[in-house]
């Protein structure tokens, strides 16, 4: 991540206000909430986890125990139980 010099991009009055709080230090200015991306949206992790969780739910419905699923997916039984609970509340998204 690159940085920009505040004195080159900010109006003098805003720069003076900032200097009362931080002077000569690097600060991070976060994006606006409406510009933020959801976690995993850039990498596709959300989609991969959604597919995995649907598979876990389907295999559980077919008779696989939480212990078997935990071993297969390298998760704890508690994690499998949480996934099953959440997937039953929010059914899988249908693909068109």
- What is residue 47's predicted lDDT score, i.e. its pLDDT? 87
- What is residue 72's predicted lDDT score, i.e. its pLDDT? 97
Q: Which portions of the chain are predicted below pLDDT 50?
A: 95-96
- What is residue 38's predicted lDDT score, i.e. its pLDDT? 72
Spatial distance between the Cα atoms of 47 and 50, rounded to a whole number of angstroms: 5
Residue 36: exposure state from Cβ atoms within 10 A (0-12, 13-18, ≥19): exposed
Residue 68: exposure state from Cβ atoms within 10 A (0-12, 13-18, ≥19): middle
Spatial distance between the Cα atoms of 31 and 52, rounded to a whole number of angstroms: 31
- What is residue 2's predicted lDDT score, i.e. its pLDDT? 81
- What is residue 12's predicted lDDT score, i.e. its pLDDT? 94
63-84: pLDDT as tens digits? 999 999 999 999 999 999 999 9
Write down the pTM of the prediction.
0.56
Spatial distance between the Cα atoms of 16 and 10, rounded to a whole number of angstroms: 10
């Amino acid at each position: 991540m690159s940085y920009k010099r505040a004195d080159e991009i900010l109006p003098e009055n805003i720069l003076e206000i900032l200097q009362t709080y931080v002077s000569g230090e690097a600060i991070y200015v976060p994006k606006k909430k409406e510009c933020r991306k959801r976690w995993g949206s850039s990498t596709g992790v959300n989609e991969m986890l959604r597919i995995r969780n649907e598979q876990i739910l389907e295999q559980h419905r077919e008779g696989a125990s939480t212990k078997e699923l935990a071993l297969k997916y390298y998760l704890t039984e508690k994690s499998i139980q949480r996934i099953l609970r959440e997937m039953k509340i929010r059914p899988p998204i249908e693909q068109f």
